[in-house]
Structure 1
Amino acid sequence: MPVLKSPLFVSLLLLAGLPATLSAAEPLSIPHVAPAIVIDADLNEPQWQQAREMPIIYDTKPGENTPAPVKTMARVMEDGEFFYISFVAEDPDPSQIRAFYRDRDKMWDDDSVGIKLDTYHDSKLAYQFFVNALGVQGDAIENEITKMESAAWDGIWQSAGKITATGYQIEVAIPLRLLNFNDRLDLQRWKLELLRFYPRDVRHRLSSNKIEREDPCWICQMQTIEGFKGARQGNHFTLVPSLVMGVEQQREVQPQQNSDWKSDRNIEPSLDLKWGITPDISLNATLNPDFSQIEADEAQVSMNDTFALFFDEKRPFFLDNADYFSSPLDLVYTRNVSSPDAGLKLTGRVDQQSFAIFAANDKDTTFIVPGNISSDLGYINEKSDNAVLRYRFDLDPKLSLGWISTLRSSDDYHNYVHGVDLKYQATAQDKVIAQLLHSDSAYPQALAAQFAGEAKLRLGDDLSGVGQYLAYEHESRSFGWYSRYLGYSAEFRADMGYMPQTDWTKQVHGASYQWFSDTQWWNNIELRGDWDISHSQAGELLEKEAEAELIVHGPLQSEVSLMLTERDRVGSRLDGSRLVVDANTQLFTEQTIGTFALVQPWSGVYIEVETEMGDKLDFRNNRLGEGLEIAPEIRWNANIHAQVALRHTYRTLDADDAEVFTANLTDLRLSYQFSVRSFVRLALIYSDITQNPLNNQGVVTEREKNLGTQLLYSYKLNPQTLFFAGYSDHAYSDDEIQQLTRDDRSVFLKFSYAWML
C-alpha cells in the first residue's frame, strides 16, 4: 500500500505524540419547572421568572470577544419533556430589523437567534436551532470531524417570534425526544451556546460565551450545562403515510408535425416510519417512496466541463441522519439511487461508538464512469441492491477510528468498497486525517459498447483497486497550512459515491494568513494560496496548478476577492483507443484571473457577481482558447412576503480568432410566502447554447434552447406534515425545431401526515 511507505505519512505519525488541549468550563445548572408553557413569543408565563438568565454579551465575529453592540437576554429551563429557551433581543432602531417570511431553512441572512447543543458533551456533533424575528425556523447538524454544517436535517420543534417596539422576542420549545443523548445517566451534562445574528453594516455573530480564534474547534468552547435529571427519550414512533397523484404527458417533437401527447396517470401511496428503538438507536424505513423532485435543481452550465456535475440531495429519507455516513472521501452520493421500491436506515450512537446502516433497492442502476482526464455517466437497465455500512469509534477526545463499506450489485454487475479511516487531533490547532479504501467491481461486457474513448476503456468484469487519502492540517488564529495526498489506482471504483476521477494521484500544499480589524473600512483580510500536482498512477503528469487569492470583508456585509491561477493541464487524448497520457496528449497552460464580489447594501437585497477570464483549454478541440465567464446573482425581498431571486451564467470560449461556443443560463424564482407555513413559487430555468460548426470538430448543434417551468404551492404544518400542488413543463428548440416547443408537462399533488406516538 503506497501510502504506508510515504515519507509524509511517517512524519505525520511522528507528530501524533503532541499533547492535545481541551477546553473546560464550569457547568451551569438548568432549572426544572412545572409544565404548561404556550409557545407564542409573549413570555408572560410565571415559569420564565424561574428560568436561568444567560445574556448574550460577546461579539465573536467580526469582533474578537468584544462587547456586543446590542443587548440580548436569553433564559433557559426544562420540564422533563421540553427544553425551553426565550430571547429578548433589543434593537436601537427596530425599523432596521431584517426579517422576512420564508420557507424553512431559508432565513440565514436575517436577524435571528439560535441554540447550539452538544448532547453527548464530546465536541463531535452539535444540533443547531435558529429562528428569525418573525418565527421562521432553520435547523442543522454541525459535524466537528468533517467541519461541515448540514441544513438537510429537519426536526419537529416549536418556535414563535414577533417584532416589538424595542426589538423582537423569540420563544422556543425543543422536545427532548428529538435529541439523541445518553438517558442512562441520571443527570445530563451537555454543551450549549446561545447566539444572535445582527446583520447591519456588518453581520455580527453574538454569543453567550467567548470563542477563541486560536482554537478552531468552536463546539469544544461551548458552555457546559447540567440538568434534565431523570430525562428519558422514550421509544418515540412516527408514522408518515403519503399519497402522490399526478398526470404526466409527453410527446415527440418533430420538425414537420409533432406526435400526439401520451398521458401517464399515477396514484402512489407510500409509507415512512421512524422508530426510536432505544434512546440511542433509530430506525427509518420507507415503502414505495415518492422520490420525485419537488424542488427544481439549481441550474448549472456543463459546457467544456470534463467531469460529471454534482447535485445536492433533497429527498428527506436520504437526508435524515446523513452525517452518520460521512467520511473523509465522498463515498456516499445518494443521488445515484434514483428510484427505490423500499429503503431501510438504522443509525445509533452508544457511548464512544456510532454506527449507521442504509439499504435500498433501485429500479435502475446509474453510476459515474471515472477517468483521469474525463468521466461519463453509466446506466444499466437492471434492478440493483444498494447498501452502506458505517462505524466510528472515538477512543478518546483526540482519536477517532472508522470503517465504511458501500455495496451495489445486480445480475451481472457489482461494486464493493471497504475502507478504514482515522482522525487524530494532535493539538487544538493540528490534526491528521487518513483513509484507506479497497474496491472490487465487475461491469457487463456489453456496457463498454455504449461509450467511446476513456470511459469505454475503464469498464471490465474483474476490477480491483485501492484509494488513499492523507492530510495534515494546522489552523490557528491568523495562520493556517495544510498538506494533503489523494490517490486512486486505475481500477478503483466507488459507484455509490461522487468520485468522477480515478487512475490519479494528487498532492496539494496550501497556506493562509488573516488580519483582523474593527475599522469601518474592513474587518477581515485573508491571503491564501496553494500548489498542487496530479499524475496518473504511471507517473504521467496530468495537471500542475498554483493559485493565490486575496479576500477582503468590509462594510455593507461585503466580500471582495481576487484570484490568480496558473494551471498546466493535459488536453484530450490524441488516440482515444489508448489510456496512456505521455505522447498521447498535449500540455496546455491556462492563466486566469478570477474575481468575486458580494454585498448586502439594504435590508432584503443580496447582490453577488463572480467572474473568470483568461486562457482556457478547449477540451473538445484540444487547443488553447480565450474564455470568459460572468455569473451574477441577485435576491430582492420586495416586502416581508415576496422575493425575486435571479441567477445568470454567461460562459463563452473563443479560439483561432473565432467563437467556439457561448452559453447563457438563467434561473429565475419568484416566491410569495403567505406565512411561516405556506408559499407559492414560480421557477423558470432557461438555457441558450450556441456552437460554431466552423470552429468545432465533428458535428455540433449550432443552437439549442431549453426552458423548464415549475409552479409550486406548499403548505407545511411541520417538515413531515405537508401538502404540495404543482405544475411543470419543459420545452426546447434546436437546429431542426426552430421555436421553443413543449415535449413534457405534468401536474401533481402530494399529501403526507406525521403521526407521532
Structure 2
Amino acid sequence: MFKTSLIACLLLASPVVFSANPMSIPFIDTSANIDGQLSEPHWQQAKKISVDNITWPYENQPSPEKMNVYVYENGEMLYVAFEAFDSEPDKIRAFYRDRDKAWDDDLIGLKIDSFNNQKLAYQFFINPLGVQMDSIENELTKQESDAWDGIWESAGQINDKGFIVEIALPFRMLNFDDKLPIKTMAMEFVRFLPRNERLRISSMKIDHNNNCWICQMPQVSGFEKTKQGNNLTLVPALVMGKSQQRNISRSAPSDWQSESNIEPSLDVKWGITPDITLNTTINPDFSQVEADAAQLSINDNFALFYPEKRAFFSDNADYFASSWDLIYTRNVAEPEYGAKITGNLEQHNFAAFVANDKQTNIIIPGNLGSTIVSLDGKSENLAMRYRYDVSNNLSFASTATSRSSGDYSSRLMSLDSKYRLTDSDTFKVQVAHSRTQYSQEIINQLCNGDDCQTNQVTSCQSGHDCQFNEFVLRVLNPEPISDQAYYLSYEHNEKHWMAFSNYSNFGADFRADLGFMGQIDFNKFVTGGRYRWYGEQQDWWSRMEFYSDWDISHNDNNELLEKEFEASFSLNGPLQSYFELYVMQRDRAGLRHDKSSLLIDGNTTLFNEDSVSLYAEIKPMAGLFSSLKISTDHAIDLTNNRLGQRLRIVPVANVNLTRHLELKLRHTYEKMDSGSASLFTANLTDARLTYQFDIKSFLRLAFIYTDIERNPDNYLIPVDKHYQQFSTQLLYSYKVNPQTVFFAGYSDNGYKDDDIEHLKRNERAVFVKLSYAWLL
C-alpha cells in the first residue's frame, strides 16, 4: 500500500515557486564509476545540494536526518550521488527486490521535468542497495505509471553513517529540446525516511495549498553540450516453449495434446529527432511473464480491469492518456506487428500506434453490466492523440481510435481540455462521438447460436428463437450505430479542504471498443469533498481526513439506475499505520424482469444496498507489511435478482524473512446469504515466495487457489455445487536492464467441478525467453 501513499505524497507535496535565477548544473568532462562510493575527485567539483526539509506529512519542517546531493553532467549522462546520513543506520529499511518493487524501503530520488512545461515528470527512485524504481507522473491526468522502464545505472552501499547511492541517467533516455544552446529543465531531489512514520524530505520548500507539484519544481539550467544522438535501440528476442492441454471432463476425457513454439521477434526504438520517437515491433511476444494479481469475479456484472505490463505499449503510454480510458491496450492481445510514434514539439504533443491482432476481444457494454466477445478473425487497431498546450495552465487535445475485423468496425473521435484557473481550481471537459458496426458473428455469440439474424430484429425482440439479455439487444441492429458522450468536471483543492463536482453522459449507442468502458446508456452527476486535519511532529497521529460524496445516475430515458451516498474517515497513526472506516448507502436497479426490453422503470426492482467496511494497515518494522479489510453489506444477488447479505474479508501479509527472501500472502474470503439461506462461499488465495539473489535476478514460486461452494437449491438456474481451481508458476528472472533479460519458467493449471472427482491439471507449459538491448 506504500506505493499508493507515495503517489498521494507526490501529488500534494511540491516546491513553492520557481527560482528567479535557475540553478546551474556544472559540466565536467569525465565519467563516474557507479559503485556507491564518493572517492573520485570529480564529485568535489559537482553541484552540492542539501535535502533537509520535511514536506510530507508536515509542511516545511526541519528534517531529523541530513542528506547531501552531488550533481554534474558530461553531455551524455547526468550523474547524481546521494549521501544520506542516518543516526540509527541499523534501522535502515532496505531489501533486495525486483525492479519497481521496493516502494516500502528507504528511498532517495530525483524528479525531472525535462521540457520544463509543467505537464510531465520522470521519476527515479533507488533504495540503499541500488534497487531501481522509475515512473512517469502525468499532471494532466493526475496519474502515475511505473510501467515505463528506462535504462540507467545505479549502485548503493550502506555504511556506519547511513548510505550512499550513485546513479547515471543517460540523456538519450529523456525527451527534451536539444536545439537550444542552454537548456532549462525542472528538478527536485527527494528522500523518503520510513520509521514510525514515513517522512518525505525535499531539497526545497513546498506549498500544500498548490495541488500541482510539477508546477512548483524549480528550474535548473546548463546542458550546453547535451545531445541525444542517434538514440537507436535494437532489441531482438527469442521465446521458446512447449505447452500441453487436455480435456478432463468425465464425459469427454482426452490425452495430453502438445504444442511447441519457437518465436523470434524484434523491437526497434529510434529517436528520429530529440523530440520524436518511433517504436516498432515485429512478431512480438506479448505473453505475460508473471501471473496477474488474482481477482475474484463471483457476483460481478462488469468486466475486470488488468494493468498493462508490456514494454511496447507502456513506453510513453502517458502520451495517450485522457480523463477516460479510451485506449486500453490489453484489448490488443496477440499482435503480429506494431508501430508507435510519440513526440513533443514545443507546445505540440502527439502520439499514434497501429497494431494488428490475431484475435479480437470486444467489451460489450450496457448500463447494468458488461460482457466480452472474442472473435477468431484478425483485427486492425489504430489509436492517435494530439495535445496543444496554449500555456502551462490551458491545453486542448483530441483522441481518435479505430478497430476493424471483417464486418465489424468501431471508430471514435474525442476532444478534451483542461484549464487550471488558479493553483487550487481546475476545470476539465471532454466530448466524444463513436460509430460502430457489429458483425453477425458477434450477434451469434451473444445469442448462443445462429438463431438471431440482424434482419429478424422485430421477430427476435418479440420472443422468436433468441436467447435474450441486455447485450443481445445492444448489438442487434443491422445498421451502424453512433452516439455521443461528454464529461464536465470542476475541482477546488487546498491544503485542508477539497470540493468537486462532475457530470458525465454516455449515450445508449456510444462505444469505446479500443478502450476500457464497460458502461453506457447512463448519465451521472457526482459532487463531494473532503476535509483534512494535520498533526504536529510531536503528535501520535499525522493526518485525519473526512470524505463524502453523493451521486445519481439515470439512463437515456431518464429512468433511475442508481443513487448513492458514501462517506469515509481515515487516520494516519504510529508505526506507519493507516485506518479507514467507510459507509455507503444506495438505491440500485436490479436485473431486468423482461430481458427482451431495455426498460428500467417497471422492469426492474429498485434495491436498497448498504455497506460498512473497515480497512487497516501497518508497517511496524523493516520488511513487514500487513493489512486487513472487512466489509459487510446488503448487496444484490445478481444471479437470482434479490437482496442478499454479504461478508468479505481480505487479509494481506508481506514478510521479508531475510534481506533476500520475501513471502507475500493475500486471501479473499467472501460469503453471501440470500433468501434466508446460504448462497455461496468463495475463497481465493494468492501466495508468492521470492528469493532475490541480487538486484538483477530472482526465483519466484507462485500459487493461486480458488475454492467456490454454492448452494444449488438456492439458485434459480443450474450451478456447480463445488468448483476449485489451482495454478502454479515457477519463474527465474535475470535482468541486466529492463530490455536485456532472461526468463525461464514453468506453469500449470487445474480445476475441479461437479463432473470431476478430484483436482486435475488441464494445462501445463514450460518456456524460455531472452532478449538483448543494443544501444546504438
Does the pair score TM above 0.5?
A: yes
Name the structure 2 match of 1:442: 437
Question: Please, which of 142, 147, 150 is the counterpart of residue 152 of structure 1?
Answer: 147
Output one character per residue of 1:315-352: Cα deviation in whole Å (capped at 9) or x when no partner: 11111110000011110111111110000000000001
SS at structure 1 position matched to 2:621: coil
CA distance in 2: counterparts of 1:579 and 1:34, whole angstroms: 71
Kindly provide the amino acid, as one letter, of the partner of residue 157 in structure 2.
K
Distance 2:285 2:633 in 1: 45
In the TM superposition, what are the counterparts of 1:394-413 in structure 2 within 5 Å? 394-413=389-408
Q: Taking structure 1 as reference, are residues 24 and 89 closer, same or farther at Cα in structure 2, changes over 3 Å only?
A: closer
Whole-Å separation in 2 of the counterparts to 1:297 and 1:416 = 30
SS of residue paired to 2:628: strand
> In the alignment, is the contact (CA less than 8 A) between 2:18 and 2:219 conserved in 1?
no
Q: Which amino acid in structure 2 is aligned with residue 691 of structure 1?
A: R
Give the aligned partner of residue 708 of structure 2: 689
- Pairwise CA distance, 1:25: 4.4
Residue 490 (str. 1) matches residue 508 (str. 2): yes
Question: After superposition, what is the alpha-carbon deviation per residue over 1:252-292, rounded to whole angstroms, capped at 9, x for unaligned?
Answer: 10227841111001000000000000000000000000011
Q: What letter matches 2:329 in structure 1?
A: T
Structure 2: give runs of 5+ residues left out of the alignment: 1-15, 447-467
Which position in structure 2 is the counterpart of 1:541? 560
Q: Which whole-Å CA distance do the structure 2 matches of 1:172 and 1:750 have between them?
A: 28
Match of 1:555 in 2: 574
Q: Does 1:654 align with 2:673?
A: yes
Hey, what does 1:370 align to over in structure 2? Answer: 365
On the 8 A contact 1:210/1:221 being kept in 2, the answer is no
Which among 273, 278, 282 is matched to residue 283 of structure 1?
278
Deviates more, 1:253-262 or 1:80-89: 253-262
Contact 1:669-1:683 within 8 A present in 2 as well: yes
Q: Does 1:500 align with 2:495?
A: no
Counterpart of 2:695 (choices 673, 676, 693) is: 676
Kindly indicate whether the alpha-carbon contact (under 8 Å) linking 1:448 and 1:457 is maintained by their aligned counterparts in 2.
no
Question: Is the 2:113–2:120 contact (alpha carbons within 8 Å) kept by the matching residues of 1?
Answer: yes
CA distance 1:446–1:81, change in 2 (3 Å): closer
Pairing partner for 1:456 from 469, 472, 478: 472
Alignment of 1:349-748 (within 5 A): 349-451=344-446, 452-459=468-475, 460=477, 461-518=479-536, 519-748=538-767
Q: Distance in 2 between the 1:629 and 1:302 partners?
A: 13
Tell me by how many angstroms 1:152 deviates.
0.5
Does residue 1:318 correspond to 2:334, yes or no? Answer: no
Separation in structure 2 between the aligned mates of residue 146 and residue 174 of structure 1, nearest angstrom: 26
SS of alignment partner, residue 220 of structure 1: helix
Specify which of 227, 233, 238 is matched with residue 228 of structure 2.
233
Structure-2 change in CA distance of 1:509 and 1:24 (3 Å): farther
Give the RMSD, CA atoms, in angstroms.
1.1
Shift of 1:520: 3.6
Contact 1:82–1:175 (8 Å) recurs in 2: yes
The letter of the residue matching 1:298 is A
CA distance in 2, matches of 1:121, 1:197: 24
Is the contact made by 1:284 and 1:346 (CA closer than 8 Å) also made in structure 2?
Answer: yes
Aligned-partner Cα distance in 1 for 2:592–2:359? 31
Instruction: Give the match for residue 14 of structure 1.
Output: none
Tell me the distance in 2 between the aligned counterparts of 1:143 and 1:614: 36
For 1:665, give the aligned amino acid. Answer: L
CA contact (8 A) 1:387 1:407 kept: yes
For residue 166 of structure 1, what is the amino acid of its counterpart?
K
Name the amino acid aligned to 1:604: G
Query: How many angstroms apart in 2 are the aligned matches of 1:445 and 1:746?
Result: 35
Deviations 1:162-184 (A, max 9, x none): 10011000001101111111111
Q: Take 2:622 and 2:169, find their aligned partners in 1: how far apart are those partners?
A: 30
Q: Is 2:375–2:441's contact at 8 Å kept on the other side of the alignment? A: no
1:23 positional shift: 4.9
Q: Deviations over 1:140-167 (max 9, x none)?
A: 0011111111101100001100100110
Q: Distance in 2 between matches of 1:448 and 1:700?
A: 25
Q: Given that residues 665 and 688 in structure 1 are in contact (C-alpha distance below 8 angstroms), is that contact kept between their aligned partners in structure 2?
A: yes
2:771 to 742, 748, 752: 752
The one of 69, 75, 82 equivalent to 1:80 is: 75
CA shift in 2, pair 1:377/1:525, >3 Å:
same
For 2:502, the aligned partner's letter is R
Residue number in structure 2 paired with 1:140? 135
Give, in whole Å, the separation in 2 of the partners of 1:515 and 1:25: 33
1:405–1:418: 8 Å Cα contact kept in structure 2?
yes
1: distance between equivalents of 2:31 and 2:220? 23
Equivalent runs, 1:280-359 vs 2, <5 Å: 280-359=275-354
Map of 1:8 onto structure 2 = none
Match among 99, 107, 115 for residue 112 of structure 1: 107
Which letter does structure 1 place at the counterpart of 2:723?
A: E
User: Quick one: percent identity of the two aligned structures?
Assistant: 50
Structure 1 residue 365, shift from structure 2 partner: 0.8
Local SS of the residue matching 2:502: strand
Mapped partners of 1:750, 1:564: distance in 2: 47
Give SS of 1:485's match. Answer: strand
How far does residue 661 in structure 1 lie from its aligned partner after superposition? 1.1
Take 2:21 and 2:651, find their aligned partners in 1: how far apart are those partners?
48
Q: Secondary structure at the match of 2:58?
A: coil
Look up the SS of the partner of 1:566 in the other structure: strand
Q: Secondary structure at the match of 1:472?
A: strand
Q: Distance in 1 between matches of 2:47 and 2:552?
A: 55
Question: Structure 1 residues 248-257 or 220-229, which shifts more?
Answer: 248-257
Return the alpha-carbon distance in structure 2 between the equivalents of residues 563 and 66 of structure 1. 32
Distance 2:17 2:377 in 1: 52
TM-score scaled by length of structure 2: 0.94
Is the alpha carbon distance of 1:168 and 1:692 closer, same or farther for their aligned partners in structure 2, counting shifts above 3 Å? same
